[in-house]
Amino acid sequence: MYELKQVSETCYYIESPAKIGLVRISDTDVCLIDSGNDKDAGKKALQHITANGWTLRAVYNTHSHADHIGGNKLIQERTGCRIFAAGIECDFTNHPVLEPAFLYGGMPFDELRHKFLLAKESVAEPLCEKDLPCNMSVVPLPGHSFDMVGFRTSDDIVYLADCLSSKETLEKYKIGFIYDVGAYLETLESVRTMQAKLFVPSHAEPTDDIAPLAQYNIDTVNEIGDMIVELCSTPICFEMLLQKLFDTYAMTMSYQQYVLVGSTVRSYLAWLKSSGRIAARVENNTLLWEKV
């Protein structure tokens, strides 16, 4: 864990729970793509940078989830580097309490205020193309999070953030976090046909052929959607639907899984309603979902 692995002349990644990208932008200067899940990940990244005699110029966050911005605060305090994030992700990075509040739908209770959902505050700036080094460009990857992005380098390495998960992760957790299911599927279709020398997803092994994994993720999303539609064959409220999904996929509910999967299921319901596969109605002061 936390080994520095070189994948091209100027591109690297640090093996960690959420891979940290590292790109040399000159002989002496580097930038990071994300900062890891906590301050320890940030420390490890800085150790690699110091050991190689490099200077860190910036951190580019792909999105604002705690496992990708967890090292921001420590890194920024120790180096004074600038941090950039796109769109709404910048606001969540500056105010990380927004993540558990968004997931829960209100003020998060104490058990939701931990490093896996609530990172330390850092000072982020809106990401613009002019703020990128000349050997990097933005790849929009919305769906998993509001305005998530990846990055393509001049070495033709593409850092894919969380736009897809490994087969092992999907088999273990089944329902991966998604904010906008329609946008997520569009992103996966785009990635499925993408070409690059190497793809580096945050939660899967690097590969030069991303199409099979992208298709597996697409199939999994559609399978979950079909299952939700079937569970709505009889009008059902959200809490009962969530329980049936946990039972169907033999998942164990915890506070964290409740908000992560619960938020995702609400996103599926919105997508399925918009596509005309399910409908919603209020009966006896209960919101019910039903198959069309």
- pLDDT tens digit sequence for 103-152: 999 999 999 999 999 999 999 999 999 999 999 999 999 999 999 999 99
Residues 15 and 150 in one domain: yes
* Contact in structure between 277 and 292 (CB atoms under 8 Å): yes
Counts of helices then strands in the chain (DSSP H, E):
10, 14
Residues 125 and 255 in one domain: no
121, 137, 162: which is the final residue of a domain? 162
pLDDT digits (tens, 9 = 90+) for 236-291: 999 999 999 999 999 999 999 999 999 999 999 999 999 999 999 999 999 999 99
Residues 47 and 141 in one domain: yes
Residues 153 and 47 in one domain: yes
Task: Please give the pLDDT value at position 153.
Answer: 98
Give residue 194's identity as a one-letter amino acid code: M
Domain total for the chain?
2
Task: Please give the pLDDT value at position 112.
Answer: 98
pLDDT digits (tens, 9 = 90+) for 183-198: 999 999 999 999 999 9
* Position 220 in a domain: no
* Position 221 in a domain: no
Residues 150 and 240 in one domain: no
E strands, the chain, are 4-6, 11-14, 20-24, 29-33, 55-61, 82-85, 124-126, 136-140, 149-153, 157-161, 198-201, 236-237, 278-283, 286-291
107, 131, 162: which is the final residue of a domain? 162
Residues 117 and 35 in one domain: yes
* Position 268 in a domain: yes
Task: Please give the pLDDT value at position 249.
Answer: 96
Number of C-beta neighbours around residue 98 at 10 A: 16
Residues 142 and 268 in one domain: no
| Position 233 confidence tier, pLDDT thresholds 50, 70, 90 | very high
Residues 64 and 151 in one domain: yes
Cα gap 253→203, rounded to integer Å? 22
Task: Please give the pLDDT value at position 214.
Answer: 98
pLDDT digits (tens, 9 = 90+) for 44-100: 999 999 999 999 999 999 999 999 999 999 999 999 999 999 999 999 999 999 999
Residues 131 and 26 in one domain: yes
* Position 21 in a domain: yes
* Position 178 in a domain: no
Task: Please give the pLDDT value at position 54.
Answer: 98
* Position 37 in a domain: yes
| Position 8 confidence tier, pLDDT thresholds 50, 70, 90 | very high
Residues 31 and 119 in one domain: yes
What's the whole-number average pLDDT of the chain? 98
Task: Please give the pLDDT value at position 223.
Answer: 97
Contacts of 72 (CB under 8 A, 6+ apart): 35, 42, 59, 61, 83, 93, 119, 120, 122, 124
Q: Which domain holds residue 74?
A: 4-162
